[in-house]
Amino acid sequence: MEEKIEQDKEMSFLEHLEELRRHLVRSAIVVAVLSVFVFIYASWIFDNIIFAPLRPDFLSYKALCYLSQFVKIPELCFQVKVHPLQALSASEQFFNHIWISIVIAIIIASPFILFELWTFIRPALKDNEANPVKSFISIASFLFFVGVLFGYFILFPMSYNFLINYQISDLGLVETHNTLDDYISLISTMVLVSGLVFELPVVVYLLAKFGLITAEFMRKYRRHAVVIILIVAAVITPSPDVASQLIVALPIYILYEISIFIAKAVNK
């Protein structure tokens, strides 16, 4: 192992870039292959996954209505109206077909991409450092998938229904006709951003590993963090009601508290 590390240290900067390029190429090939499979079965994927939040019987709407009865907050139960999407150009459906195929392929391939990153940095790690990194990859993949599901089942349906029903006038002079481009952009952005936000413990782990953050620092500025989390929840959740914002803010705050324990363990 020591001999392998010594060999790695002797690699030049360009050789490291070449090695990184090989890992990125392998990841790109996997994403491309998965994109082809997703593209082939796109009709089922669009009907049952991508366009599912457009239907009143979507699982999230039923769950939120049940929750609204339990916590006595009627705002959580949406009156979902079907709004057909419009394609304003001949190529709009085709290019969105390709884009969604790539996005889903990246989500599915994320563990493999992290594994390729692991194999790139593995030669530079000692044996006692390698095992924690293996766990780190599994946890990072799990958190990303949980974030994607949260974005798809909670964040996007709440945001979309608020935006599509929003009115700047009570006279009914403005009608919202959503386009396919806007819908695909909104759902893909929110799902990916949610997945990245749920990587907070991973980011804290890395920062603590490099000595850039400590558990004491996070405890000291906990109140500031709560304010920032509420602001972030208000930004990514356009709905003005407090209940919707708390549903988004609560998981992020829980991740922050978990990150404090992670930083404490790393600092030790």
- 240 in helix, strand or coil? coil
User: Letter for the amino acid at 24?
Assistant: L
Q: What is the mean pLDDT of residues 256-267?
A: 89
- 68 in helix, strand or coil? helix
Per-residue pLDDT tens over the stretch 161-211: 888 878 888 887 888 888 999 999 999 998 998 999 899 998 898 888 778
Is residue 7's pLDDT more than 80? no
Q: State phi, psi for 34 to the nearest 5 degrees.
A: -65, -35
pLDDT for position 8? 47
When pLDDT is cut at 50, 70 and 90, the band that residue 3 belongs to is very low
User: Letter for the amino acid at 119?
Assistant: T
Is residue 136's pLDDT more than 80? no
Nearest to 27 by CA among 97, 118, 90: 118
Mean of the per-residue pLDDT values for the chain? 84
pLDDT for position 267? 76
Is residue 52's pLDDT more than 90? yes
Most distant CA atoms of the chain, gap in Å: 77
**What span, in angstroms and rounded, lies between the C-alpha atoms of 243 and 68?**
10
When pLDDT is cut at 50, 70 and 90, the band that residue 135 belongs to is confident
Q: Which two tokens stand for residue 158?
A: 């709440």
pLDDT for position 176? 81
pLDDT for position 2? 47
Per-residue pLDDT tens over the stretch 219-247: 999 999 999 988 888 777 766 667 777 88
Residues 6+ away with beta carbon under 8 Å from 162:
238, 239, 240, 244
DSSP3 helix / strand / coil % (the chain, rounded to 5): 80, 0, 20
Q: What is the mean pLDDT of residues 21-35?
A: 92
DSSP 174: -
